[in-house]
Amino acid sequence: MVTSHVDPHQRSQDARRRVLEMALSLRDGPPGGSVDHFLALLQYRLPFWLSVLHDLTHRAGSGTVAGNLVPVARAGLDYHLEVQAAALPAFSSPNVTVRVREALRAAGFGPEAEVAPLAAYLEEERRLGRVAAGVDPEASARLLLAGCFHRAYIELFVGADLVPPREVSAEEIVRELRLEPPS
177 CB burial (10 A radius; 0-12, 13-18, 19+): buried
Least confident of 4-13, 32-41, 57-66, 145-154: 4-13
* Span of 70-84, 93-107, 143-157 with lowest mean pLDDT: 93-107
The answer, yes or no, to whether residue 2 has pLDDT greater than 50, is no
Question: Which tens digit of pLDDT belongs to each residue from 42-92?
Answer: 888 988 999 999 999 999 999 999 999 999 999 999 999 999 888 888 777
The span from the CA of 168 to the CA of 183, in Å, is 24
User: Is the model's pTM score more than 0.85?
Assistant: no
Classify the phi-psi angles of 98: left when phi > 0, otherwise alpha if psi is within -120 to 50, otherwise beta. alpha
Which residues, other chains included, contact 27 with Cβ-Cβ below 8 Å and sequence gap of 6+? Answer: 36
